């Protein structure tokens, strides 16, 4: 069985080392290399490799952001390339996911590849559940989002949240509204809202989050709800359920 691999690492020497070490394994074929998280999302989705060697610590979009951005029926097997300390590495062991520490050693990579071969032969032992658990554990204390990867015209574009006026929800998607442009992201508004800085964003409806400094007017409708008019002319609805959140931000009752 031939195993197709995508290498993701922002450091050229690290990619070179992985490429050289993988050359010793006859069943490995390198499908692509990526130097950043945004291109990794697009490449993994389009090539659908069997295995990804994924660096965790990358600028803008790190390895966790890449995994959470993938929209695929089934994720490839993942070997994390990590410089994490021993405490964090215990989390990988608990969730039965493989990692190799930098600088990558040939014997340790071979061991991880053997584990991947076993999982690929029997995908019933999928690592998806373990991966979800790991992401929940290691991302719960991460800093607030500042940039978001979105698909646009067969590529992955990175949107600065400072440019977002408001966020609307539709089923398992959210729409980021930036001026007269709109970007769809496969995510629930609850999970997305939990990663936003509350100093800048406030939820005004079960399906709407606004950037606080974009609010221009609040107009009561006589039934306890408000029209929220933004500086760009957008008109949104604030439900009475979320009214206390706006009042808290303004420091007074409306």
Does residue 168 share a domain with residue 94?
A: no
**How many domains are there within the chain?**
2
Q: How far is CA 200 from CA 150, 173, 213, 215, in A?
A: 20, 21, 7, 11
Looking at 2-11, 29-38, 77-86, 118-127, which range is the least confident one?
118-127
Cα–Cα distance for residue pair 195/141, rounded to 1 Å: 10
Average pLDDT, the chain: 86
Specify whether the CB–CB gap between 70 and 44 falls below 8 A. yes
Range name among 86-90, 110-114, 197-201 with the lowest pLDDT average: 86-90
Is the predicted pLDDT of residue 227 greater than 70, yes or no?
yes
- Regarding whether 82 and 18 lie in a shared domain, the answer is yes
Question: Do 39 and 90 sit in the same domain of this protein?
Answer: yes
pLDDT at 123 over 80: no
Do both 57 and 175 map to the same domain?
no
- From CA 118, how far away is CA 188, in angstroms rounded? 34
Write out the E strands in the chain.
Answer: 3-8, 28-34, 51-55, 77-82, 98-101, 147-151, 156-160, 166-170, 173-178, 181-186, 201-205, 208-211, 215-220, 226-230, 235-238
Say whether both 132 and 164 belong to one domain.
Answer: no
Question: Does 157 lie in the same domain as 130?
Answer: no
Please give the residue that has the higher pLDDT: either 83 or 128: 83
The DSSP bridge partners found for residue 220 are 226
Residue 46's domain comprises 3-139
- Find the mean pLDDT for residues 193-220: 92
């Amino acid at each position: 069985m031939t195993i197709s691999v995508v290498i993701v690492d922002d450091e050229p020497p690290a990619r070179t080392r992985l490429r050289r070490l993988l050359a010793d394994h006859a069943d490995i074929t390198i499908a692509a290399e990526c130097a950043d998280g945004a291109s990794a999302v697009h490449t993994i989705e389009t090539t659908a490799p069997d295995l990804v060697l994924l660096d965790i610590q990358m600028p803008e979009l790190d390895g966790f952001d890449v995994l959470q951005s993938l929209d695929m029926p089934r994720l490839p097997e993942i070997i994390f390339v990590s410089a994490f300390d021993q405490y964090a590495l215990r989390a990988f062991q608990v969730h039965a996911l493989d990692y190799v520490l930098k600088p990558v050693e040939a014997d340790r990579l071979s061991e991880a590849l053997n584990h991947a071969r076993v999982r690929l032969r029997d995908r019933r032992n999928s690592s998806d559940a373990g991966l979800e658990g790991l992401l929940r554990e290691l991302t719960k204390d991460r800093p607030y989002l500042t940039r978001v990867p979105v698909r646009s015209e067969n590529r992955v574009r990175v949107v600065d949240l400072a440019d977002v006026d408001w966020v609307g929800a539709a089923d398992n998607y959210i729409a980021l509204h930036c001026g007269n442009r709109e970007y769809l992201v496969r995510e629930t508004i609850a999970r997305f809202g939990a990663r936003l800085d509350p100093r800048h964003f406030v939820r005004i409806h079960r399906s709407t989050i606004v950037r606080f400094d974009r609010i221009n007017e609040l107009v009561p409708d006589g039934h306890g709800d408000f029209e929220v008019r933004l500086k760009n002319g957008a008109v949104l609805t604030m439900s009475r359920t979320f009214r206390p959140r706006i009042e808290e931000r303004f420091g007074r009752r409306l």
